Structure formats: structure tokens, C-alpha cells
């Protein structure tokens, strides 16, 4: 391997230590979820039914999120034409302020759409001039029928992660003190609605299936198509569980701290062992161990052929798991654990120091749980600051793949590393979580084994990376 093209090679723990000591400071951030704080805050509240957003900013910001999230993702909830309102800030508003205009926009949204909830989101323009969106929300709520919340989500006010977390914090204001506990009922935390590369509904469907199979109930998925009423009832559950520990962690910790609701700290259910941990993480606090054990026994027995396929594919191999558009960092680490479970040596390629810094609690949790795979960071990614496919990072991936005997690749179908590869695009229509995820992964690796010798298109490579 050409060490001159490697920025870091070691374990995940060693990379974390370097980041904590400030030894690896990137000039450019890199992430699988690079939108600004406004976009990510909108992505969370977009997952609430019967909610009308009012964006306090120019038309461009509104068109962007409405086109990406409302028009392309809300068909999941049977409402593809949900409204997105905007104050359409112009030069005069920037000079004289736009709080009056915002108040009228909230009233109009209430009058036109009759939502249960209106959420005001600030943009860079309204943030720069200091319009007080929280005060307007409080005033508007006295003059309209809907509940009104405000999120300070101007893009310069934080990174992409703070948008998610601040939105979840604001939504906690809707949670009412319970009159009685809903026995055997949980919330699922950390979901968002939107056409992202990090989540899709099939994984949530598999989680729901397992929860119901063990005899538990789900109050709501926050915020993946939940209702305002489900948010109000959120404090009445016995337990919070995560769709993804990384995204659910902050809300789970806050609800445990403020409301005393236990939080099941489990990673993503990739593979048999991680799925068992997720299921028991829910079952044990609810007193459903017996039922859960029977579910796991039955499900595992039905997967004997698929498990054999996965063992034949992974055993004795080096599994190269690259973080590109998909999978993202936490999924990549979950895949590394699954590959190890089935007999491979996992190598995670291009987990960026920015990712380590922004996901520090989740990375430390995974390390604490024993996940410490080998990590390689290439100089191309470190200097370019993007996970998107490029000629330079493609060449580096080929170099890494050539270094290992019996290498296999798990990642984006846009890559061509010259070794058998598993297409992990999200557009499969199948889950990767849980027992059905194991069945799907076996199908994908079976296809990889059957077609490993087929040559990749030279034209496709030139389209992606140039001649």
C-alpha cells in the first residue's frame, strides 16, 4: 500500500484519540449529511403529520426544502402535496425587519390549511437581522387555532447535527405530563422524513414488526410520520428505543433526564447478534424476555440458509466498507460488526475526523460495546472534504483493495474497486435491519458471488471519473 496516499491507518480507538488531541484537524468538513442546520431541522419537523411549516426567509430556501422533502418524500404518509409557507423576505424586510410579516404568514397558514401544529423556522436572513421568531410564535399561538413552535435554525447557527438536535428539543415542549403510564408501550426515537441516504421506511417497518411480535406496542416514531397527539403522549410510555443510536441518543438522554423515561441504548440491528441485543434491549425493561426469546428462536431457525450464504461470503475475507453517499459512518460501523460476526476482517475506509468529532458520544458508545475495527483514511478524502465519488478517492480505493488478499467491498454501487462488491444502495425496497435485513443481505451477497467475474462498464467509469 502506498503510504504517501494514506492520512491515517489504525483502529477506530486510535483515530478517536487523535481527534481528541487535536492532531487531525480537517480544513473542510466531510459528512454523509452535509446540509445546513436549517435543512436538518426542517427534515425532523417534516416527519410530523398535520404540521404546516412557516419559513421565515427568502423564497429560495423554501423552494429547496419543499422540493426535496415535501414533494419527494411525503407520499410515505399519503400526503404528497403538504404545504410549505414562506415569508418571502426581500431587501426591505432585511432593512426594516420582518416580524410583522411573519405573524401574518402564521395566521394565513392557520386559516388556509387548518393544521394541528405550525412550526416557524428561521433562515440565515432572518437570523442575521435578529428577528425574534420565538416571541412571534408565542404571540401567534394566542391568535390562531394551531399550536405554534419556533426553531432558531439559521444555517450559520450550527452544523447539520445541531439542526436535528435543536428540532427534537423544541418538539419536547409538546410532550404533556401523563395521567397514567401506557404499559408495554415504547417510543422509537431518531427518525426523520426525507429522501436521504441514511434511512428509509423498510428498516422502520422491520423494527415495528419485531416490537409487535414480542407483544409490545409503539406510541410513535419521532419524527418519522408521527402525529401531534403521539408527541403529546410521549411521556406516558415505559421505554424509549432508538431507530439509530446516533440520532436517537440526544432525545433519549434528554427524556430520561427530564422525565425519567428509560432509554434502551442499543446500536443498529445489523446481523444476528446486534438484532438480538436490540430486541432484548426493549424486551428486558418491559418484562417480555420470554416472548422475545421465542421470537428470536423462531426467526433464527427460518434463516439457516441465509446465514450459511453470509458465512460462505464473509469467512476469511477482508471486508472493505467505504463511507460514501451510502453507507454513512454509523451504518458503516454496524456493517463492520456484521462482517466480523460472519467471519470477515472489517476495514472501514474514510471515516472522517469531522465525523468523529460530531458523533463523539455515539463513537464512544460503539467502542464501549466492543466495536473497534481497523480504519483507513485516505489523503484524497481528507483534503477534498467530501464523501462524493471522485477520481482521486476512486484510485485510492483501488489501491487499498489491491493490498488485501480476498478483499470484498460493501458500499456504493458507483464505485469500481476491482473486487467482488455488495450493492448497498438504499433503493432496494428491502430492509437491512433485523431478521428480514439478514435475508436481504444474503440475497445481495449471493448476487455479488454470482456476478463477481462480470466486467464493469468502461463507459460508466469514464462518466463517473473521467477518462
Residue 63 lies in a domain: yes
Q: Tell me: pLDDT of 345 over 60.
A: yes
So what's the pLDDT on residue 195?
42
Mean pLDDT of 115-135: 94
How many folded domains does the chain comprise?
3
So what's the pLDDT on residue 391?
76
Measured torsion, CA atoms of residues 304, 307, 313, 316, in degrees rounded to the nearest 10: -110
Mean pLDDT of 241-251: 89
Range of the domain at 10: 3-30+305-465
Q: How confident is the model at residue 32 (pLDDT cuts 50, 70, 90)?
A: very low
Q: Tell me: pLDDT of 193 over 80.
A: no
Q: Give the per-residue SS3 of 419-467.
A: CCEEECCCCCCCCCCHHHHHHHHHHHHHHHHHHCCCCCCHHHHHHHHCC
- Beta-bridge mates of residue 408: 319
Mean pLDDT of 296-324: 95
d(CA 64, CA 190): 23
Q: How confident is the model at residue 323 (pLDDT cuts 50, 70, 90)?
A: confident
What count of residues does the chain have?
Answer: 467
Q: Compare 87 and 453 and report the one with higher pLDDT.
A: 87
Mean pLDDT of 219-245: 94
Mean pLDDT of 121-149: 95
The set of residues, in sequence order, having a beta carbon less than 8 Å from that of 255 and lying 6+ positions away, is 172, 175, 189, 234, 235, 240, 261, 263
Burial of 333 by CB count in 10 Å (0-12 exposed, 13-18 middle, 19+ buried)?
buried
Residues 108 and 189 in one domain: no
Residues 52 and 18 in one domain: no
Residue 245: name the closest of 225, 218, 208, 270 by CA: 270
So what's the pLDDT on residue 198?
43
Residues 101 and 178 in one domain: no
Q: Tell me: pLDDT of 132 over 80.
A: yes
Residue 20 lies in a domain: yes
Residue 386 lies in a domain: yes
Domain termination site, one of 278, 301, 324: 301
d(CA 350, CA 353): 9
Residues 185 and 102 in one domain: no
Q: Tell me: pLDDT of 112 over 90.
A: yes
What integer best gives the mean pLDDT of the chain?
88
Residues 235 and 376 in one domain: no
Q: Tell me: pLDDT of 122 over 90.
A: yes
Question: Residues 40, 161: contact at Cβ < 8 Å?
Answer: yes
Cα-based distances in Å from 102 to 93, 97, 108, 198, 269: 10, 10, 10, 33, 43
Q: How confident is the model at residue 401 (pLDDT cuts 50, 70, 90)?
A: very high
Residues 230 and 333 in one domain: no
Burial of 440 by CB count in 10 Å (0-12 exposed, 13-18 middle, 19+ buried)?
buried
Residue 166 lies in a domain: no
Question: Residues 178, 255: contact at Cβ < 8 Å?
Answer: no
Portion of the chain with pLDDT greater than 90, in percent:
58
So what's the pLDDT on residue 428?
58
Question: Cis (ω within 30 of 0) for the bond into 392?
Answer: no
Question: Residues 466, 391: contact at Cβ < 8 Å?
Answer: yes
> What are the pLDDT digits (tens) for 274-294?
999 999 999 999 999 999 999
Portion of the chain with pLDDT greater than 70, in percent:
91
> What are the pLDDT digits (tens) for 402-423?
999 899 999 888 888 889 989 8
Mean pLDDT of 73-86: 61
If you ran DSSP here, which 8-state letter would residue 121 be given? E
Backbone angles phi, psi at 261, to 5 degrees: -90, 120
Domain termination site, one of 158, 185, 210: 158
Residue 218 lies in a domain: yes
Residues 322 and 437 in one domain: yes
Residue 168 lies in a domain: no
- Beta-bridge mates of residue 242: 189
Question: Residues 264, 281: contact at Cβ < 8 Å?
Answer: yes
Amino acid at each position: 500500500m502506498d503510504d504517501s496516499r494514506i492520512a491515517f491507518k489504525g483502529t477506530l480507538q486510535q483515530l478517536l484519540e487523535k481527534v481528541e488531541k487535536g492532531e487531525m484537524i480537517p480544513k473542510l468538513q466531510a459528512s454523509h449529511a452535509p446540509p445546513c442546520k436549517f435543512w436538518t431541522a426542517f427534515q425532523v419537523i417534516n416527519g410530523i403529520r398535520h404540521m404546516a411549516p412557516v419559513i421565515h426567509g427568502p423564497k429560495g430556501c423554501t423552494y429547496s426544502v419543499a422540493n426535496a422533502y415535501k414533494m419527494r418524500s411525503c407520499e410515505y404518509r399519503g400526503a404528497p402535496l403538504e404545504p410549505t409557507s414562506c415569508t418571502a423576505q426581500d431587501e426591505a424586510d432585511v432593512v426594516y425587519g420582518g416580524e410583522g410579516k411573519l405573524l401574518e404568514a402564521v395566521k394565513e397558514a392557520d386559516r388556509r390549511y387548518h393544521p394541528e401544529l405550525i412550526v416557524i423556522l428561521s433562515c440565515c436572513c432572518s437570523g442575521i437581522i435578529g428577528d425574534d421568531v420565538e416571541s412571534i410564535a408565542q404571540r401567534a399561538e394566542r391568535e390562531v387555532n394551531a399550536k405554534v413552535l419556533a426553531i432558531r435554525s439559521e444555517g450559520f447557527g450550527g452544523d447539520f447535527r445541531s439542526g436535528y438536535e435543536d428540532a427534537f428539543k423544541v418538539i419536547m415542549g409538546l410532550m404533556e405530563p401523563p395521567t397514567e403510564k401506557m404499559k408495554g408501550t415504547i417510543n422509537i426515537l431518531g427518525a426523520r422524513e426525507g429522501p436521504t441516504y441514511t434511512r428509509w421506511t423498510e428498516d422502520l417497518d422491520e423494527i415495528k414488526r419485531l416490537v409487535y411480535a414480542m407483544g409490545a406496542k409503539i406510541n410513535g416514531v419521532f419524527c418519522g410520520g408521527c402525529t401531534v397527539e403521539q408527541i403529546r403522549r410521549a411521556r406516558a410510555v415505559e421505554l424509549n428505543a432508538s431507530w439509530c443510536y446516533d440520532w436517537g441518543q440526544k432525545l433519549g438522554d434528554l427524556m430520561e433526564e427530564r422525565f425519567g423515561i428509560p432509554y434502551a441504548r442499543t446500536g443498529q440491528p445489523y446481523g444476528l447478534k446486534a438484532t438480538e441485543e436490540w430486541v432484548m434491549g426493549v424486551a428486558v425493561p418491559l418484562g417480555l424476555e420470554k416472548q422475545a426469546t421465542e421470537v428470536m428462536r423462531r426467526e433464527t431457525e427460518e434463516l439457516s440458509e441465509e446465514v450459511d450464504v453470509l458465512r460462505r461470503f464473509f469467512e476469511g475475507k477482508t471486508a472493505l466498507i467505504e463511507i460514501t453517499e451510502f453507507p454513512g459512518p454509523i451504518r458503516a460501523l454496524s456493517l463492520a460488526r456484521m462482517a466480523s460476526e460472519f467471519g470477515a476482517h472489517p476495514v472501514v475506509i474514510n471515516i472522517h475526523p469531522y465525523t468523529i468529532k460530531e458523533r463523539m458520544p455515539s463513537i464512544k458508545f460503539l467502542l464501549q460495546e466492543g466495536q473497534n475495527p481497523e480504519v483507513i483514511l485516505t489523503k484524497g478524502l481528507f483534503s477534498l472534504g467530501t464523501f462524493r465519488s471522485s477520481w482521486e478517492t476512486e484510485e485510492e480505493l483501488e489501491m487499498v483493495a489491491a493490498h488485501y488478499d480476498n478483499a470484498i467491498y460493501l458500499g456504493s454501487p458507483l464505485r469500481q474497486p476491482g473486487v467482488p462488491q455488495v450493492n448497498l444502495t438504499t433503493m432496494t425496497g428491502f430492509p437491512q435491519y433485523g431478521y428480514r435485513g439478514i435475508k436481504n443481505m444474503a440475497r445481495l451477497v449471493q448476487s455479488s458471488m454470482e456476478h463477481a467475474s462480470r466486467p464493469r462498464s468502461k463507459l460508466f467509469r469514464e462518466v463517473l471519473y473521467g477518462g
